[in-house]
Amino acid sequence: QVKPASNSLLMFHKKLSILIALALVSAKVSAQTSEALPFIRIGHDASREAMAGAGSLSGASAAWASYDNAALSVVGDSRLSVAAGYQRWAPDGSNYINAGASYKIGERIGFSAGASYGAGTPYDVYSSTGAKNGSFTPNQYLLNIGAGVKILPFLSAGVNLHSASQALAEGHSHGTIFGDLFVMGNFGGFKAGLGILSVGTPVYSESGDKFNIPSSTRLAAAYEGVVGSVFAYGAYLDADYYLFSSSINAAAGIKLEYNSLIHIMAGYNYGSANAVIPSHASVGIGASFAGIALDAAYLLASETLGGSLMVGLSSSF
């Protein structure tokens, strides 16, 4: 049975509108903001997402340095860090496969790279006459390269370059190139950082309308320490001010570790009106053995993100 053209077109536009509104996902975009490709700001490191996205100064995230803070590639004692992860975002069930690595040359230079591919829920595609032509799966990718340098024993800096593209309908894709600059200082157990993230070319619609990507300035702080010989802890704070929407994301998280074997994490991320990442809480657990770490994070307390799950496997040498 052939569906009336008007009904099929209405169905197509309705589904496409839903996909665009979800923006493939995890990063809810308000209709009042002009920011495009919000998926470039979602996190991919399960250990950080277990702290609601806080922890951009954590040396444990060195493998993910190319995603925002390239200075991590020269922080810590490890020469090589590698990681891979999987994410399933609620409520639409989009799936991401992610990878990252960093390598330190000597004591002052580091390089990093990463890649992420995401796929949304397939939907049926109809012709103008109402005939079903098949289906389409929305998708997007993110590619990163970065470099870090230790300027002083306590001061490091890094830059990243990214390429991103998103296709929400067949024959309709949008992409951009953008970069990050991050500076961080390590003063014993206290760390502080300042960065400007996701600065790059805007996205243009087919009609020529201009949409800026979610660029931000970030202030970050962390305090890490040990108690006795078996307990370690970390407290992290990351705050982003988005330059084009004037919105704010502020994430705070904690990590508690026992005997370098088991660690638990929790956090909360506040998102103001029009913020790329909506307010949510998160919890997580991880285990480390023989230089390999397995982390899992679960997002909750959010209508948009609640129920999202991610896992990550990492190793340092």
Q: H or E segment at 105?
A: strand 94-105
d(CA 210, CA 224): 43
How is residue 25 written in tokens? 């996902």
d(CA 264, CA 253): 11
Burial of 183 per CB tally in 10 Å (0-12, 13-18, 19+): middle
Residue 172: what residue type? H
Per-residue pLDDT at 168: 83
pLDDT in tens, 88-128: 987 667 899 999 999 999 999 999 999 999 998 888 888 87
d(CA 94, CA 39): 11
Asked if 204 and 211 count as a contact pair (C-beta separation under 8 A), the reply is yes
Per-residue pLDDT at 57: 97
d(CA 23, CA 168): 8
pLDDT in tens, 266-278: 999 999 988 999 9
d(CA 12, CA 169): 10
Per-residue pLDDT at 18: 36
How is residue 126 written in tokens? 């109809």
Per-residue pLDDT at 269: 97
Per-residue pLDDT at 49: 96
Asked if 87 and 109 count as a contact pair (C-beta separation under 8 A), the reply is no
Per-residue pLDDT at 145: 98
pLDDT in tens, 180-219: 999 999 998 999 999 999 999 999 877 788 899 999 999 9
DSSP per-residue string spanning 221-240? EEEEEEETTTEEEEEEEEEE
Q: Per residue of the chain (317 residues), what is the pLDDT tens digit?
A: 333 434 444 444 444 443 343 333 333 333 334 588 999 999 999 999 999 999 999 999 999 999 999 999 999 889 999 999 999 987 667 899 999 999 999 999 999 999 999 998 888 888 878 888 889 999 999 999 999 999 999 999 999 999 999 998 887 888 999 999 999 999 989 999 999 999 999 998 777 888 999 999 999 999 999 998 899 999 999 999 999 999 999 999 999 999 989 999 999 999 998 899 999 999 999 999 988 999 999 999 777 788 899 999 999 99
Tell me if the pTM is above 0.85: yes
